[in-house]
């Protein structure tokens, strides 16, 4: 296989790793309690155990592929992850605030101002996360 093939396989396996992280949370019995999405873990202990058993068999197979293709694992810097995630989300928030709301139709002016104000507050906090996360400020 050529380099493009290997990159495609490795990219797909990176997605599998992310799925395994989510499955691990389910197996451990954790529930996600976000503001806009909640995950209820309704699996029984026996079901969680079986999910864990199946999921635990996947990494060894992934490691075999990694070795076969001589693909070194990416070493991700947490500082860079925080910066990049916050930057992407902040850009998206910018698109849906202020005049950006008009691309979805005429918004109610009061609601648009309220939403834009709260979105700007969130963007400011994301900016602070980037500063602290990148070592630019210590508290």
- Per-block average pLDDT, block size 10, for the chain (139 residues)? 89 93 91 85 94 97 93 84 88 87 88 93 92 66
16 found inside a domain? yes
Q: Which two tokens stand for residue 74?
A: 């990416």
16-31 residues labelled b (16+ CB within 10 A) or e (exposed): eeeebeebeebbeeee
Q: Say if residue 47 is in the same domain as residue 82.
A: no
Total tally of structural domains belonging to the chain = 2
Domain boundary among 36, 68, 100: 68
pTM of the model: 0.65
| Confidence (pLDDT) at 30 | 85
18 found inside a domain? yes
Q: Say if residue 51 is in the same domain as residue 83.
A: no
Domain that holds residue 109: 78-133
């Amino acid at each position: 296989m050529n380099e493009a093939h290997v990159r495609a396989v490795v990219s797909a396996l990176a997605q599998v790793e992310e799925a395994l992280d989510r499955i691990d949370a389910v197996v451990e019995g954790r529930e996600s309690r976000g503001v806009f999405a909640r995950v209820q873990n309704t699996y029984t202990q026996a079901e969680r155990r079986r999910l864990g058993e199946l999921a635990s068999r996947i990494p060894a197979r992934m490691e075999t592929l990694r070795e076969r293709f001589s693909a070194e694992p990416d070493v991700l810097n947490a500082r860079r992850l925080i910066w990049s995630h916050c930057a992407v989300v902040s850009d998206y928030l910018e698109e849906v605030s202020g005049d950006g709301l008009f691309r979805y139709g005429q918004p109610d002016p009061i609601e648009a101002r309220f939403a834009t104000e709260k979105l700007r507050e969130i963007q400011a906090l994301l900016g602070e996360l980037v500063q602290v996360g990148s070592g630019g400020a210590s508290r």
